[in-house]
Amino acid sequence: DGLTGAGWAELCQVGTANAALRDLTIANAVDVCPGQLRPLLGSGRLEGFALRRCRASGGDQGSSLRSQWRDALCAVTGDALRTFVVDHVDTGDAGAADVVGRLAGACPSLRRLGLSHVGAGRNVAAALIRAREAEQLPALDALELRGNALPPSSLSLLVAAWLPGADTSRRPGLGEFDLADTPLDYYSVAALAQGARRCSALRKLVLRKCELSAPAVSLLDDA
């Protein structure tokens, strides 16, 4: 908690060298160089990784801060990884979508994926749908997309892919879907209600702080 540039660099260096490290959470780091994460995430040893409310320092060689985060997070790899959570880190929609693509191809054991308050939108939804259609992320059970602005059409397609009925998919859907603090119109809620009814795997649907209309709430009550 509260690392700055020098402490961040030391953590990344020591963490990469420490073969015993399996789980790492970094929160509230400021003025850091995202690229220093690459060797650690690329080691393939981590079982859990969370990055929360971290801010990069100024641009490096003209690249945008979003590109720095994307490039660093896309270094992740390994069959060991079970949890990967990014929260309040400005990757942007395109960067977060690239991270999804990397996880889908390199981390088949991933069970929990969180991309909250990262600017995720149409591209992230499309990347998650592609992963499902390609039968990637076969172990994924929990998806956190809090505080993003997913277009209703994209969210409907995402729900159809990841909250399927037994008659349309041999693979179980999500057990947990967290969309707290997300703008949801009536049609988005209707899609979620349908997904909740048909997906027997779903145990937990989180819609805190979504400011739902009364008709939308009634849809969820029925589900």
Kindly report the pTM of this predicted structure.
0.94
Domains by residue range for the chain, with CATH: 5-222 (3.80.10.10)
The answer for residues whose C-beta is within 8 angstroms of residue 38's C-beta and 6 or more apart is 71, 72, 75
Flag whether pLDDT at 29 surpasses 90: yes
The 10s digit of each residue's pLDDT in 185-199 is 999 999 999 999 999
Q: How confident is the model at residue 216 (pLDDT cuts 50, 70, 90)?
A: confident
The 10s digit of each residue's pLDDT in 131-145 is 999 999 999 999 999
Of 63, 81, 83, 61, whose CA–CA distance to 71 is shortest?
63
| Per-residue model confidence (pLDDT) at position 62 | 39
Rg from Cα positions in the chain: 18
| Per-residue model confidence (pLDDT) at position 32 | 92
The 10s digit of each residue's pLDDT in 156-174 is 999 999 999 877 777 889 9
Distances (CA, A) of 174 to 47, 149, 165, 216: 20, 20, 11, 22
Amino acid at 160: A
Flag whether pLDDT at 61 surpasses 60: no
Of 113, 59, 120, whose CA–CA distance to 95 is shortest?
120
Percent of the chain scored above 90 by pLDDT? Answer: 84
Flag whether pLDDT at 59 surpasses 60: no
Question: Dihedral of CA 220/160/164/121: which sign?
Answer: negative
